[in-house]
Amino acid sequence: MPILRIEQPHDDAMLEDWRSVHNTVIPTGPLSLDDVRERSHRNHLEIAYLGDAVVGCSTVRPPTGEDATATVIARVLPAHRGQGYGTRLFTRGMDRAREMGAAVVETVVLASNSAGLRFAEAQGFVEVERYVLPGDTVAYVTLRVP
């Protein structure tokens, strides 16, 4: 049985795997490889593999603001949900946010992703904001651990 492997992308092939997951889970906000390269310099990105198969990715945005708020986002491809991979990615992301000095943690989920919203709520997050980016039609939901 393949073992889940989670690591930081260290080359363009891994960044492309991360991008593929992001663009599948967030179809309203597709990123280019250049976008992902830029994000990898300011955020902590990880990619999850089951054997050689990509199953998910995560982003930790470093703490900002007076309240030292970090953002932790875990994304799992639909075919791999419900198997604990999101929990593993999310737990690693929460640990990383704390290591970075986060006092407050938020997550962001596409409003149309009902499974993602349920997952965030099951982790103790509560909705604090909904917003639609210019040119988009589907809202993003910001949730925070109270």
pLDDT average, residue stretch 103-124: 94
Looking at residue 15, its pLDDT comes to 98
So what CATH class is 4-103? alpha beta
Q: DSSP letters of 4-47?
A: EEEE---SHHHHHHHHHHHHHH-TTS---HHHHHHHHHHSEEEE
Identify the residue whose tokens are 């993003």. Answer: 140
Write the Ramachandran bin of 111: left for phi over 0, alpha for psi from -120 to 50, otherwise beta.
Answer: alpha
Euclidean distance between CA atoms 118 and 140, whole angstroms:
14
DSSP secondary structure letter of residue 67: T
Euclidean distance between CA atoms 104 and 81, whole angstroms:
26
- Where do the structural domains in the chain lie, given as residue ranges? 4-103
Mean model confidence pLDDT for the chain: 95
pLDDT-derived band at 13 (thresholds 50, 70, 90) equals very high
